[in-house]
Amino acid sequence: MSKIQKIMSREVLAEGGIPVIQAKLKLDNNLEVEVTIPSNDHRTNYQKVEFYDNDQSRYHGKGVLRPVSFINDLIGPKLVGVSPQKQKEIDGWLLASDSSELRNKLGVNTIYAISMLIAKAGAVDANIPLYSYINNIYNSSYGDSKIVLDKVPTPIITVLSTTEELGVKLDFKEFQIIPTASYQFAKSLEIGTTVATTFRETYNSSTVNSNQDAIETITDTIESLDLKLGQDIFLSLNFMASNYEKSGSYELKDKAQALKISDYLDFVKMIAKKYLPLVLIDPFLPSDWASWKNLNLDLSKETYLVGNELVSSSSKILQKVISEKLCSSFMVNPALVGTITELFEMTTFIRKSGLNYVISSSDHDTSDHSIADLAVGLQPDFVKFGLPTRTENLVKYNRMMEIEEEIKNIK
């Protein structure tokens, strides 16, 4: 069994020019692994925090030289001589080193970097793919909730992102599509990308003046490709209502006047009934539990009401949300959870509650595709990696196709 010889870290840049942690681990058999950790915008007071330098003379205070020094000077040296197969023990040590609820001491970015690095080193040491290794160590710890490694999750593919597209002045954060789960991942990606690129070729921001205009333009694009909405492909909407809520009212381009909470709830229900989206993400503020519960009761069981900001990958909030039956599915972002062990515990709790989850990438992502292996190893219903036109997303989609081929050859 190999042992850790050295761990090194440095500051690099992610999408959007955001500084992030890159770390490398070398085993005593000379095998090496590397991770580059993404970054997330901080949106709720219960979201675990990333540790920044707060030196305003560098990157507006968001440099990560201090977390890098934590790894190089404090954490790395203490893991020399330890087996990378001790994932649970190392994760436990990390959490004991920073037992604060929000990981204020080391930062969730530091903790995730080390935990993910250990997992990748363990997989390399075992000479198996990372997705198989993740699946194996999960099943060895949670035998009563065993996950069968038999498919690649279905992608939620972004067609239009109002946060990333210049000239787009809409309210909902993302307009998405989901190919039917009966397709292989490669086919889903082919169809989804074709819809997305066709939409972009015909899209005219001067004629799309509301969220419903965007939805209908996407449905027109789907029909123009001889695909059947609700059969071959489904709609998904990422509202991120916090982007357009102002002082208790919701300001939408679909309405001449701002909507009060009750009227906005009716608007969301109308969208759900008219367009029959398969997935609805964050249609309300995280604090508006009454609206979440109302909509969850109103929607059909076939519709996924997904909490993203609602939970912010917090296990504590997750348990409360499930108890109150506020939604039917959850967005799980590994970079916000922290350790691999915590990720296992969160997904196990969701599965045992009879609910679903989506593995999601981060706001400011990198070309690291480890999350694709995590997703396949944990078998969520969906993965959400963003626009299929950006390099940091494409590496993940391409890795998923590669894994699909490997799984086919195993069967």
Contact 128, 119 (CB under 8 A): no
Domain end point (choices 78, 96, 127): 127
Question: Where does a domain end: 70, 97, 127?
Answer: 127
Dihedrals phi, psi of 85, to nearest 5 degrees? -75, -10
Kindly report the number of other CB atoms within 10 A of residue 394's CB atom: 18
pLDDT of residue 331: 96
Tell me the CATH number at 98.
3.30.390.10
Whether the full predicted model's pTM is greater than 0.75, yes or no, is yes
286 Rama class: left (phi>0) / alpha (psi -120 to 50) / beta: alpha
Q: Which helix (H) or strand (E) holds 9?
A: strand 4-14
> pLDDT value at position 165?
63
Whether residues 210 and 257 fall in one domain:
yes
**Residue 123 and residue 147 in one domain:** no
CB 195 within 8 A of CB 222: yes
Taking 70 as the pLDDT cut, the residues of the chain under it are 163-167, 411
For residues 254 and 315, membership in a common domain is answered with yes
Alpha helices in 225-369 (DSSP H): 261-275, 289-298, 315-324, 334-337, 340-352
Label the pairing between strands 249-250 and 245-246: antiparallel
Question: Are both 331 and 268 inside the same structural domain?
Answer: yes
Quick one: DSSP state of residue 326? -
Exposed, middle or buried, 280 (CB in 10 Å: 0-12/13-18/19+)? Answer: buried
- Residues whose CB falls within 8 Å of the CB of residue 303, separated by 6 or more in sequence, listed in order: 272, 277, 278, 279, 280, 328
Integer-rounded Cα Rg, in Å, for the chain is 21
Output the domain CATH number for residue 362. 3.20.20.120
pLDDT at 201: 87
Residue 136 is assigned to a structural domain of this protein = no
Contact 342, 292 (CB under 8 A): no
State the Cα–Cα distance between residues 255 and 267, nearest whole angstrom.
10
Q: Domain boundary residue among 74, 92, 127?
A: 127
Cβ distance 195 to 159 under 8 Å?
A: yes
Say if residues 110 and 75 touch (Cβ distance below 8 Å).
yes
Q: Which residues contact 348 (CB under 8 A, 6 or more apart)?
A: 142, 145
How far from chain centre, in Å, is Cα 37?
Answer: 13
Torsion of CA 392, 47, 334, 353, to 10 degrees: -130
- Asked if the structure places residue 138 within a domain, the reply is no
Question: Does 277 lie in the same domain as 349?
Answer: yes
pLDDT digits (tens, 9 = 90+) for 186-196: 999 999 999 99
Instruction: Please report whether residue 257 resides in a domain.
Output: yes
User: Which pLDDT value is given to residue 138?
Assistant: 97
The confidence score (pLDDT) of residue 151 equals 93
Do residue 72 and residue 44 come from a single domain?
yes
In the chain the first and final C-alpha atoms are separated, in Å, by 29
Q: Which residues contact 155 (CB under 8 A, 6 or more apart)?
A: 178, 179, 185, 188, 189, 192, 382, 383, 384, 385, 397, 400
Longest dimension (CA), the chain: 67
Range of the domain at 183: 143-410
Task: Report residue 363: phi and psi, to 5°.
Answer: -65, -45
- Judge whether 134 lies within some domain: no
Do 263 and 337 reside in the same domain of the chain? Answer: yes
Looking at residue 22, what DSSP letter applies? Answer: E
Question: Do 44 and 82 have their domain in common?
Answer: yes
Domain annotation covers residue 332: yes
Q: For residue 104, give every residue at least 6 positions away whose Cβ sits within 8 Å of its Cβ, in sequence order, or none.
A: 49, 51, 98
109 and 229 both lie in a single domain: no
SS3 of 1, please?
A: coil
The residues that bridge with 201 in the sheet, in sequence order, are none
In a domain, 137, yes or no: no
Do 344 and 227 belong to one domain? yes
Look up residue 150 and give its two tokens.
Answer: 């038999």
Tokens (6 digits) for 229: 């909405």
Which of 124, 146, 66, 161 minimizes the C-alpha distance to 370? 124
Residue 324 lies in a domain: yes
Task: Please check whether residue 199 lies inside any domain of the structure.
Answer: yes
Q: Is 254 annotated as a binding residue?
A: yes
Do 404 and 346 belong together in one domain? yes
Same domain, 242 and 390: yes
Amino acid of residue 286: P
Q: How many domains does the chain have?
A: 2
User: What are the backbone angles phi and psi of residue 238, rounded to the nearest 5°?
Assistant: -105, 100
